[in-house]
Structure 1
């Protein structure tokens, strides 16, 4: 039986990912996005869209601009994706990038 071709790995910017993970607030955001129903279950729209930036702001108890800056760093590193729905922006973890980063670190360290 012929093996299927390997799934291509996403492009990883290891330095950007390490920089993003160096901040405890960004690690907390990623941890909460891993189980959005446990942390953001009161969101009106379905969580399959992701988590609304406003819910993340409220959870972090930081200003909107501070949380937006943290989300921008996570997005630039490829750790989260965003989707605009109307006036709202929703964020989700980018699991393929996170898994590839973990695999890379396991292989390199």
Structure 2
């Protein structure tokens, strides 16, 4: 379960439409992004999407995209993994489920 302070950080991360859009796109990466050639089952990061693919899909600069992903990462809404020279991001489903529980119980 998340606490009140964590919930506030999550709500701050969700206060930007583009960050919400990124989370929505990461919900179904196979429909929203190109095939991620470097993410294979053996690397245990299925559903991960490369920063450059996220950047090109949302249409922002590399620095803004990285900043938005950093905010989502710090809030716990996404997780990342470096594979070779690329960094991949995917939704953190556990945090999202815990947020649902928090809202149901506290709000």
1:52 is displaced (CA, Å) by 0.4
User: Which runs of structure 2 are paired with 1:34-45 in the superposition (5 Å)?
Assistant: 34-45=27-38
| Residue 20 of structure 2 is aligned to residue 27 of structure 1 | yes
- Residue in structure 2 matched with residue 108 of structure 1 by the alignment: 106
Structure 1's 10 and 85: CA in aligned 2 closer, same or farther, altered over 3 A?
Answer: farther
Residue matched to 1:87: 85
Alignment gaps of 5+ in structure 2:
41-45
Deviation at 1:106, TM superposition (A): 1.5
Deviating 4+ runs (over 2 angstroms): 9-12, 41-47
| Structure 1: unaligned runs, 5 residues or longer | 1-8
Asked if structure 2 preserves the Cα contact closer than 8 Å seen for 1:82 and 1:92, the reply is yes
Matches within 5 A, 1:1-109: 9=1, 13-46=6-39, 48=46, 50-109=48-107
| TM-score calculated relative to the size of structure 2 | 0.87
Aligned-pair RMSD on alpha carbons?
1.7
TM-aligned CA deviation for residue 86 of structure 1: 1.0
Secondary structure of the residue aligned to 2:66 is: helix
Deviation at 1:62, TM superposition (A): 0.4
Q: Secondary structure at the match of 2:88?
A: strand
Kindly name which structure, 1 or 2, has the bigger radius of gyration based on alpha carbons.
1
SS class of match (1:82)? strand
